[in-house]
Structure 1
Amino acid sequence: MAGPGAAPPRLALALAALAALAAVKYYRDAEAARQQELALKSLGSEGLFLFSSLDTNNDLYLSPEEFKPIAEKLTGVAPISEFEEEETSDTSGETLSIVAKFQPLVMETMTKSKDGFLGISHVALSGLRNWTAPAAPMSMLLARQFKAFLPPKNKLDLGDPWWIIPSELNIFTGYLSNNRFYPPPPKGKEIIIHRLLSMFHPRPFVKTRFAPQGAVACIQAISTFYYTIAFRIHAEFQLNEPPHFPFWFSPAQFTGYIILSKDSSHVREFKLFVPNSRSLNVDMEWLYGASESSNMEVDIGYLPQMELESTGPSIPSVIHDENGNVIDSRDPSGEPIHFVFEEITWQQEIPWEEAAQKLEVAMYPFKKVSYLPFTQAFERAKAEKKLVHSILLWGALDDQSC
């Protein structure tokens, strides 16, 4: 029997368990610090920086999945993912031809240009300066690959947004690492977005480091057999490779629309672009050292053109006659067969501006409230007999302060 001054058995056990947990944590932290120190001695700061950019789970070991970017870089061969393999296995469907149009960033619009990029090495900006044309000026894609843009069954109302790529960031996760060079392998619906953005540059990240992250869409128009889907994508690019330090290029947004049959067998039109109506539309960040905590330089600039557009409707890759026999894609004179497509009669539709505003609110919930210029705010307040809440900002609230 315990004496009057002894702690109750349960409390003693709890204290012992806490002490054991603290000891385990101390040991693990000490071991992690020791391993980090050994890695630094073996690789040096720049080598460890590169290793850490691949070691996504920070366990100081590279799994085959983590090593994949290096393997692809050395061999020049990228394995096809299971989802993409499934999508491309049926090559008898229709194909869509897409062209990329790109005008490089106007360097003079960067704030650092005002002092002649004083103190900024040419190496840091090499990836930006060398990016003068799209990586793939034209690409052929299967129409069915665009089924990722189709709405879920519970989102069939005009202007009702859904997430193609949902955000994985929240107040607990914080933001993603700056210390990365190669995008993680895209999965599921990310694949078509990654494929499209790869036409601009070989290293697109379909999930941005910071919120708002992801891709959102809504129905703009409905016909018997077709949808017009408006979409908005937040993605960014890594312009540098080792031994240089990371350089992040983050357009304000990618937006656009697709006219797609409800069974995804046919694409009538597709367009994706970075809006260029503002004086600044790209955020740029680059590191100056070999660690996550290294100094980071930040700037903004103007990108005149970055867009993808279909050259016409998707067309059959294999043509059959009325008996099911494969026929030549050219007529007897050798000219390509011209397809005639029926005109689409839209039964319901909303203006593009309304659809874009719905997507904007989905990305930025604070925009459920109207933010007006100073003079317009007072006119609205007077008309609605409401008070004015004034906010002074340096820059914009949305789109990377662009």
Structure 2
Amino acid sequence: MGKMKTLNNKITLNLNSDAEVSVKGFIAPIEHTAGNFHRKWDALANLRAAEPEQQYSAAVFRDFLPAEAVSVGECWEIKQAGVQELLEQLHPKPSLEMRAEMYGLEECKGFRACLRAYSDQFVDIVFRIHAEFALTDGWFTPSQFAGHLIIDRAQETIVFFLMHVPAGTLNFDVNWETILEGWDAPRWITDGGYCSQMELRSGTQDVLQDTEFTETITQEEAERLLIQQFYKSQRINWVSLEEALRMTQAQQKPVHVISLDGPLTDEAC
């Protein structure tokens, strides 16, 4: 592929397919689920990275790059093949379909990236991936896989890669088909929990220290642009209840209150 170019604030993104990337995989033992599934269900209790370390051709990461030149803040769809191959390092049975046909949750499907920043030397890409793993007798569904891909523009090589499940009070859901509760026939039951580390990593993010970007947006702005690609509810300009009450006084308009039993975005949040 040709060298990376900058055209009218848009840049082309390339990788040298001859290069290799060593990626380490981590899944920490799960220490909390609301219903103690991590103690009762062997598949969840023993969930570990399938391959602690693996070598990849940089060609796998081309699937994270846009087909055309992009500008900072622009989002694009990641190709499925590269995501699938990388997730298999964590677990041999990843699924990118999110069982959307069963539950009608088309919003939660997908994998997208955003150009956060670039300089003469580096490109910083932020991405969001929705995927789950088919365990024995059930499903493990992380809230999301968030990540960074930093590329050396001159060498067309990867200097940092991270795909991880972000921290949160709860950051995964599980669905388990079991007769453990004494039922005559297996039933599906659900739970939520917290995993302190589930990630794929290569290199170090410190490479960007002291980098002066030609053009950039914040990490928060990039994450906001990405989540809006999935959930229409995130395109609403939400305000706090206190702010809404101030606005209703100023505008002399009523407040309509809707109570929701669950999140509008990632299930385990």
> Normalising to structure 1: TM-score of the pair?
0.53
Matched length: 241
Partner of 1:147: 62
Which blocks of at least 5 consecutive residues in structure 2 are unaligned? 1-15, 180-185
Post-superposition offset of 1:344:
5.6
The equivalent position to 1:129 in structure 2, one of 45, 48, 66, is 45
The answer to whether structure 1 residue 223 and structure 2 residue 119 are counterparts is: yes
Question: What are the superposed Cα offsets for residues 320-369 of structure 1, whole Å, 9 maximum, x if unpaired?
Answer: xxxxxxxxxxxxxxxxxxxx99x864211100000001111111012110
User: Quick one: structure 1 residues 191 and 239, their matched pair in 2 at CA, closer, same or farther if it must change by over 3 Å?
Assistant: same
User: Which residue identity is paired with 1:207?
Assistant: E
Which residue identity is paired with 1:231? F
After TM superposition, give the deviation of residue 267 of structure 1 in Å. 0.8
- Which residue identity lines up with residue 202 of structure 2 in the other structure? S
Q: 1:383 to 1:209 in 2, by over 3 A?
A: farther
Are the structure 2 counterparts of residues 387 and 95 from structure 1 closer, same or farther at C-alpha, using a change threshold of 3 Å? farther
Moved over 4 A (4+): 261-264, 379-387
Structure with the higher fraction of residues in helix conformation: 1
For residues 391 and 134 of structure 1, the distance between their equivalents in structure 2, rounded to whole angstroms, comes to 41
- Superposed CA RMSD in Å reads 3.2
CA distance in structure 2 between the aligned counterparts of 1:347 and 1:139, rounded to whole angstroms: 34
Matched, 1:347 2:214: yes
Q: Judge conservation of contact 1:227–1:262 (CA < 8 Å) in 2.
A: yes
Letter of the 2:129 partner, please give it: I
1:96 corresponding residue in structure 2:
21
Q: Cα gap change, 1:234/1:264 in structure 2, threshold over 3 Å: closer, same or farther?
A: farther
Percent of aligned positions that are identical:
32
Match of 1:256 in 2: 147
- Equivalents in 2 of 1:349, 1:396: separation in Å? 30
Q: CA deviation at 1:93?
A: 1.7
Q: Find the partner of 2:192 among 277, 296, 300.
A: 300
Larger Rg: 1
Q: Assess, with a 3 A threshold, how the Cα gap between structure 1 residues 380 and 145 changes in structure 2: closer, same or farther.
A: farther
In the alignment, the residues of structure 1 paired with residue 90 and residue 52 of structure 2 have an alpha-carbon distance, to the nearest angstrom, of: 8
Larger proportion of strand: 2
1:209 corresponds to 2:118: no
Question: CA–CA distance in 2 between the matches of 1:139 and 1:381?
Answer: 57
Kept in 1: contact 2:120–2:214 (CA 8 A) = yes
| Aligned partners of 2:63 and 2:81 also within 8 Å | no
Cα 1:92/1:149, change in 2 over 3 Å: closer
Residues 304-343 of structure 1 correspond to what in structure 2 (within 5 A)? 304-312=196-204
> 1:284: which partner in 2?
174
- Decide which of 219, 228, 238 is 2:134's aligned counterpart: 238
Q: Which residue of 140, 160, 178 corresponds with 1:269?
A: 160
